[in-house]
Chain A
Amino acid sequence: MTATTLPAPGQSPKLHTKKLPSVAFLGVAVVALGLSAAICYGTGIGGWVLTLVVGLVLYLVGIFVAVNAVEGRRSARNRTWSALIHSAFVLAILPLASVVWTLVSNGLDRLDGDFFLTSMNNIGARDPNGGAYHAIIGTLEQVGIAALITIPLGVLGAIYIVEYGRGRFTFVIRFFVDVMTGIPSIVAGLFVLAFWVLIVSPWFNDGAPVFSGFAAALALSVLMLPTIVRSTEEMLRLVPAPLREGSYALGVPKWKTIMKIVIPTALPGIVTGIMLSIARAAGETAPVLLVAGGSAAINFNPFSAQQGSLSLFVFQQAGDASRFAPARAWTAALTLVALVLILTIAAKLLARRNRIPR
């Protein structure tokens, strides 16, 4: 590692000044750890975590001093930064490994048929069973409806941006599509709450607001639209211009060229983008919480009454006082992550296999 990071190809030892042997780094590490253990346990200010942290700091100082003495200041700085960058990487891996480990180990407890085939209806605080059937149905229906709304809208919007749009107006649309990807999900939920649940839906229901799965689907489509437009736009731009020109030369009108030539060429990429946005939408909790309300019973109808969803189920069970609730929350979280990751990985593999050559 240390040998390859040196930029100079110097094979001949004469060009090189003295080099610190790699054993020295190990020695510095051992000394640093020992010293920090002595400090931490000797004075009683902390346990093994502090020992490691202080040890790392001492190690960085130690290699700086050692390399500085042998190889010079510039090389010392190089080595220290390299060590810092590597330790940043290790530091980031720790919590992520912890998330994965706890998710899997805790989630396996309730991963049984009962969990996937029953709902939370009539499950009290002392019942260990109960499941997420209703929540899974809610997630699938809401995401499905959201996809039905958003896919045509998003793909057509991207076609406008790439094929028809010129000038400032198109630039504004593109800019706001990008900005819209950053809208917090809770704001999308509030928007649908204000617009659909509180203002539009009372017309159909004798003046009372309707919390429904469809409202959640609307909120999810607000979140999905910019991602689909963006990814489709990028894919359409990759379609080679000679394909379009060949079609025009044969006298085919522009709209037919787009539908028959451009879209089929870009289709794998478009599907990838759609799957990624669906995966993202499936994990959203806040909008569902606001406009679908959540329900313990199975509700197949997304238009009438309250409906749950898998992510909302995790949120509710995590806040539940029952001592059986955390196990249900972990299993639901594991299911949700599995669903999202399968979609994401499939999308990425699809993208890798069907990449349009540039």
Chain B
Amino acid sequence: MADRHSRSADVSTGGPGVTSSHARPAGATASTGVLDGQPGGNAPVPPDFRINGGGLGGGGSLPRRKGFGAESMFRGLTLAAGTMVLVIIVAITVFLIAKAVPALRADDANFLTETDWFANDSPPRFGIAALAFGTVVSAVIALVVAVPIALGIALYLSHYAHQRIATTLGFLIDLLAAVPSVVFGLWGVIVFVEPVRDFSVWLNKYFSWIPLFGGDGPFGRSLMLGGLVLAIMVLPIITSLSREVFMQTPTANEEAALALGSTKWEMIRTAVLPYGRPGVIASVMLGLGRALGETIALAMTLGFINEISPNIIKNGGNTIAANIANGFGEAGEIGRGALIASGLVLFTITLVVNMIARAIIYRRREFTESAA
């Protein structure tokens, strides 16, 4: 918000310049050109001064050269380590593309619209349409179930629960985020599948007129099971981030709402929720990224039928990541390339989702800092 404010200030100061024809902007560029050109001798001075000031305490008599060697070496080392992150992200893209292109060339079908995955046949036919569909549907189920519950818990922890209870429960929820996904997968496929199957049969009995719950079995290892397991896994992520955001609500805002006579819920609706909205959106996006990329839990719970069908309770469903984990064992040369190509798609999607989430958080951070 602070960002937007300053931007609008720029616009208003720039306005007169624009209205008084093009002479002004042209003159501005010319003057900067003069500035750049004339004190060219002065230009190196500030950096030089900066290096001296930054490297050493300043006195001219200090042994500058000797310190400079170790200093620049250390600086270079840290720079290399810092750049490593960018190198890895670029390398992921480059190597995945390098391995995916030969397989995509060999593909007999359209990679984006084909639903089957017969990458090891000759000629290979594979496409990610059904996989992408399953990925999106399972993530949507997970978010639809998890977001309201997670927000409820976050509000409970930040505004309803007793301080000590809230701290303990917050700690427990952080621990939950650390439980490996393979454990949730094992629990899902052995324990959770039973109630979900009963629920699916029940849904099918009374609501089979809705396409989502139609079909005639077998039920259980369905997109719904996968989606619900995912919901349990993304719950801690969304909860802990939105709880933090809710707790940052300025006390003044809350007290002002209460002083105006609002009930607790009205206080939450008018003070806490508007303040926390960007943070909540970001936490949901992070949860979405996790749900889209989750591999092992879905590889263990889904029924593996590649088809695009609106039915979410029938055995079946497959996602990009689960397909990689389960199809990797019997994949040949082309098969591996095909799986890597699907991984490239997944990487791109999650990268975009995460970048949006982080951008929201960054903007929010500026806002909170200026507010504080």
A residues apposed to B, CB below 8 Å: 5-8, 45-46, 49-50, 74-75, 77-78, 81-82, 84-89, 91-92, 95-96, 98-99, 102-103, 152-157, 159-161, 163-165, 170, 172-173, 175-188, 190-191, 193-195, 198-199, 222, 225-226, 229, 248-251, 253-256, 258, 276, 279-280, 282-286, 289-290, 311, 314-315, 318-319, 326, 329-330, 333, 336-337, 340-341, 344-345, 348
How far, in whole Å, are A175 and B78 apart by their CA atoms in the complex? 17
* One of B109-117, B215-223, B321-329 contacting the partner: B321-329
Chain B interface, DSSP helix/strand/loop, else mixed: helix
Residue of B156, B261, B357 with highest tally of chain A CB at under 10 A: B156
Please name all residues of chain A whose beta carbon is closer than 8 Å to the beta carbon of B183 when the two chains form the complex: 99, 103, 283, 314, 333, 336-337
Q: Are A95 and B232 CB-contacts (below 8 A) given A329-B186, A337-B183?
A: yes
How far, in whole Å, are A279 and B261 apart by their CA atoms in the complex? 48
B156 touches A85 (CB 8 A): yes
A160 touches B346 (CB 8 A): no
Q: Are A314 and B182 CB-contacts (below 8 A) given A85-B156, A187-B350?
A: yes
A85 touches B57 (CB 8 A): no
Cβ contact of B81, chosen from A89, A95, A157, A337, cutoff 8 A: A157
A173 touches B85 (CB 8 A): yes
B84 touches A157 (CB 8 A): yes
Cβ contact of B265, chosen from A81, A179, A344, A345, cutoff 8 A: A81
Please name all residues of chain A whose beta carbon is closer than 8 Å to the beta carbon of B81 when the two chains form the complex: 152-157, 159-160
Please name all residues of chain A whose beta carbon is closer than 8 Å to the beta carbon of B128 when the two chains form the complex: none
Q: List 21 A-B contacts (CB under 8 A).
A: A46-B202, A77-B265, A82-B265, A86-B156, A88-B156, A91-B149, A172-B86, A173-B86, A182-B286, A186-B325, A190-B96, A198-B336, A251-B62, A255-B70, A255-B74, A285-B181, A314-B182, A318-B186, A318-B189, A336-B180, A337-B183
Cβ contact of B324, chosen from A152, A186, A345, cutoff 8 A: A186
Please name all residues of chain B whose beta carbon is closer than 8 Å to the beta carbon of A86 when the two chains form the complex: 156, 160
Please name all residues of chain B whose beta carbon is closer than 8 Å to the beta carbon of A160 when the two chains form the complex: 75, 78-79, 81-82
Cβ contact of B85, chosen from A81, A180, A256, cutoff 8 A: A180
Cβ contact of B89, chosen from A8, A163, A176, A326, cutoff 8 A: A176
B152 touches A8 (CB 8 A): no
How far, in whole Å, are A75 and B70 apart by their CA atoms in the complex? 69
A184 touches B85 (CB 8 A): no
Cβ contact of B347, chosen from A187, A249, A344, cutoff 8 A: A187
B264 touches A286 (CB 8 A): no
Report B331 CB to chain A, min CB distance, Å. 10
Q: Are A82 and B55 CB-contacts (below 8 A) given A289-B325, A315-B185, A344-B175?
A: no
Please name all residues of chain A whose beta carbon is closer than 8 Å to the beta carbon of B354 when the two chains form the complex: 178-179, 181-183
Asked if B144 is an interface residue, CB under 8 A from chain A, the answer is no
Report A98 CB to chain B, min CB distance, Å. 7
* One of B18-26, B27-35, B289-297 contacting the partner: B289-297
Q: Give 4 closest A-B pairs by Cβ, nearest first.
A: A184-B293, A283-B180, A88-B152, A156-B81
Q: Chain A residue with minimal CB distance to B78?
A: A160
How far, in whole Å, are A351 and B312 apart by their CA atoms in the complex? 44
A186 touches B286 (CB 8 A): no
Taking CB atoms and an 8 Å cut-off, the chain B residues in 143-202 that contact chain A are 148-153, 155-156, 160, 171, 174-176, 178-187, 189-192, 195, 202
Cβ contact of B92, chosen from A75, A89, A191, A311, cutoff 8 A: A191
Q: Are A318 and B190 CB-contacts (below 8 A) given A173-B86, A187-B350, A344-B175?
A: yes
- Contact string, B284-312, partner A, CB cutoff 8 A, digits 1/0? 00100110111110011000000000000
B286 touches A194 (CB 8 A): no
Report B214 CB to chain A, min CB distance, Å. 18
Please name all residues of chain A whose beta carbon is closer than 8 Å to the beta carbon of B130 when the two chains form the complex: none
Q: Chain B residue with minimal CB distance to A95?
A: B232
Q: Chain B residue with minimal CB distance to A178?
A: B358
Report A210 CB to chain B, min CB distance, Å. 15
Report A14 CB to chain B, min CB distance, Å. 16
Taking CB atoms and an 8 Å cut-off, the chain B residues in 20-60 that contact chain A are 54-57
Asked if B9 is an interface residue, CB under 8 A from chain A, the answer is no
How far, in whole Å, are A319 and B300 apart by their CA atoms in the complex? 8
Q: Are A289 and B75 CB-contacts (below 8 A) given A152-B81, A336-B183?
A: no
Please name all residues of chain B whose beta carbon is closer than 8 Å to the beta carbon of A222 when the two chains form the complex: 88, 92
How far, in whole Å, are A330 and B367 apart by their CA atoms in the complex? 47
Report B141 CB to chain A, min CB distance, Å. 15
How far, in whole Å, are A89 and B350 apart by their CA atoms in the complex? 29
Other than the given A82-B264, A191-B91, 5 more pairs (CB < 8 A) read A185-B295, A248-B57, A255-B73, A285-B180, A311-B296
How far, in whole Å, are A96 and B153 apart by their CA atoms in the complex? 14
A199 touches B95 (CB 8 A): yes
Please name all residues of chain B whose beta carbon is closer than 8 Å to the beta carbon of A179 when the two chains form the complex: 89, 351, 354-355, 358
B71 touches A311 (CB 8 A): no
Asked if B353 is an interface residue, CB under 8 A from chain A, the answer is yes
B152 touches A186 (CB 8 A): no
Asked if B267 is an interface residue, CB under 8 A from chain A, the answer is yes
Please name all residues of chain A whose beta carbon is closer than 8 Å to the beta carbon of B71 when the two chains form the complex: 253-255
B82 touches A173 (CB 8 A): yes
A337 touches B180 (CB 8 A): yes
A99 touches B263 (CB 8 A): no
B153 touches A283 (CB 8 A): no
Q: Are A314 and B186 CB-contacts (below 8 A) given A46-B202, A194-B99?
A: yes
How far, in whole Å, are A176 and B355 apart by their CA atoms in the complex? 8
Cβ contact of B153, chosen from A89, A164, A176, A253, cutoff 8 A: A89
